[in-house]
Structure 1
Amino acid sequence: MTRGRMGRHSTPKAYLDAQFTYTNDADGGGTRGARVIDSACVGNRVWYAAVEILENGVATSITALICEVRWTPNAKDGYIFAYKDMGENAGPCSDDCPEKILRLLPPTNNECALDWRRRCLARLRRRARRVEDGMRVRLPQPLTFSDNHVGSEFLVVKRGSRITFRSENGFGHYHIRNFRDLPWIVVPQTKVHATIFAKPPAPAMTA
C-alpha cells in the first residue's frame, strides 16, 4: 500500500496495532472483535502481537498474531508497505518474538503453536548467552570470507556492544552476520599460570 493508504499511521507497528484492534457486528446480534494487548515490530520485518479475542466486548481468549512485513519507505513507485498475517496456530517460520509477548500467551494444546513458542524461546536463550572479549568460539559449520579464509573457530573481539572476530590464530578481522542467533559453543582455553616459588627460610641465628 501507499503512504496515503496507511492513513495517519507512520510506521508498520502503528498501522497493524490499529488494524487488529476492532469491533464488528456479529451475525445474529452481538459483537465480535479483537484488541492488541502488546506488540513489537522487530526490525520492521516481523510484527508480533498478543491479541485478545472479544465476544460482546468480553475477552474469551488470547493468542499470538504474526505479520510478515515489507517496509520500503523510499520506494520509487510509492508502494511502501505490505504485510501477510497469520496466527501462531499456523506455525510461522519467523521465530524472534520478544519475550514480553510470549509471557502474555496462555497455555495451548495446539502442536504448531507449541513448536513456534519453543523455537522462539530457544532463540531467546541463544541470544542471551554471554559474549566476552577474548573468548574462543566454534561454529557448527565453517565460514568462508572475502579474503578466502575458511574457519569455524574464532576469537571474540568485543568493544562495548560491538563484536568482531579474529581467526583462531589471532589474525584477520571478521564480521559474522547474526552471530548471536547461531548455535556456537565456547571452546575451553588452557591458561598457563606463572609458577610462584616459596621464599627460602631465613637463616638460623647463632647464639
Structure 2
Amino acid sequence: MGWFTMTHMGMGGHETPKAYLDAQLTYERRAEGDKPFQGLRVLKSVYSGSAYYAAAERYDEKGARIYVTAIICLVRWNPRAADGYIFGYKDMDETVGPSEATCPRSVLALLSPTLHPFALDWRRRCYRLLALKERRVNDGDLIRFPEPMRFTDGSEHREFRIRREGKKAVLTLTDGRGRFKISGLLERRFEIVREPKVAKTFFPAA
C-alpha cells in the first residue's frame, strides 16, 4: 500500500492523526452476497508523532471476538503544510512484518496469539526494543558499547560514564572529561559494566 495524503477537510472533522485513524479502524460492514459480516474496533491505540499503533479487534455479528491484531501506520503530520496537505499515512498490519517496531507494551499485551511468522518476528523485535529502552541507567554507571562510537570531532570511544542532570543523561569519558550525546541511547545495544567496589579500611582508635 502507498501513502494516503489529505487536507484538513479530508480528515472529516478529526483534529489529530490519532482521532482520524481510530475512526477509520472502527466500522461494521453488513454481510452482502458471498461477503461475510465484518466488524472492527480499536481496543487501544498510541500515536508517537511518526507512527501509530493499534490493537484492533475483529468481531462477528454477535459482537464476539474473532481475534485481535496489530495495525501500524506510518504518519506524516504537518498542520502548516504550504500545499494544504497536512496529513499522510501508510497503513499495514503485523503480518507484513513492518520495519517500524516501536510498538508500546500496552498495545502488544492485547494481541491474540498468532503463528504467522512475520507477525511473530515483528512482535519479537518490538519486545527486544522495549527491553533495551526499559533498562535503568543510574548516575555514575559505566556503559560499554560493542564497537567504538565515532563523533564529529573524529574521536572514537567505547566506554562512557553516565551523569544524571535531572531527567537528562549526559555521557562523559570514564574519567569524567567531556560531554557526549548519542541519539536514541536507550535503543542502542550496550552493557552496564559492573565495577568492583573498593571496601573502605577502618583502623581502630589507639
Q: CA deviation at 1:159?
A: 1.7
**Aligned pairs, number:** 199
CA distance in 2, matches of 1:184, 1:30: 50
Secondary structure of the residue that 1:156 maps to in structure 2? strand
Distance 1:190 1:30, change over 3 A: closer
1:55 aligns with 2:49: no
Q: CA deviation at 1:71?
A: 1.4
What is aligned with 2:108? 102
Distance 1:112 1:53, change over 3 A: same
Q: CA deviation at 1:97?
A: 0.7
Amino acid of the structure 1 residue aligned with 2:171: F
What is aligned with 2:164? 158
Q: CA deviation at 1:124?
A: 1.1
1:178 aligns with 2:184: yes
1:71 aligns with 2:71: no
CA distance in 2, matches of 1:123, 1:32: 33
What is the TM-score when the length of structure 2 is the normalising length? 0.90
CA distance in 2, matches of 1:30, 1:181: 43
- Residues 113-132 of structure 1: pairs in structure 2 closer than 5 A: 113-132=119-138
CA distance in 2, matches of 1:89, 1:137: 36
Structure scoring higher RCO (CA < 8 A, sep ≥ 6) equals: 2
Query: What's the % identity of the aligned pairs?
Result: 42
Q: CA deviation at 1:150?
A: 1.4
CA distance in 1, matches of 2:67, 2:196: 54
CA distance in 2, matches of 1:96, 1:47: 10
Amino acid of the structure 2 residue aligned with 1:173: R
Deviations 1:72-113 (A, max 9, x none): 222222211111111111111111111111111121111111
What is aligned with 2:32? 27
Q: CA deviation at 1:57?
A: 4.9
1:37 aligns with 2:43: yes
CA distance in 2, matches of 1:92, 1:102: 14
What is the TM-score when the length of structure 1 is the normalising length? 0.89
CA distance in 2, matches of 1:158, 1:191: 21
CA distance in 1, matches of 2:158, 2:126: 25
Q: CA deviation at 1:4?
A: 1.5
- Give ranges in structure 2 of 5+ residues lacking alignment: 1-5
Distance 1:91 1:37, change over 3 A: same
Q: CA deviation at 1:30?
A: 6.2
Larger radius of gyration: 1
CA distance in 2, matches of 1:48, 1:40: 5
- Give ranges in structure 1 of 5+ residues lacking alignment: 201-207
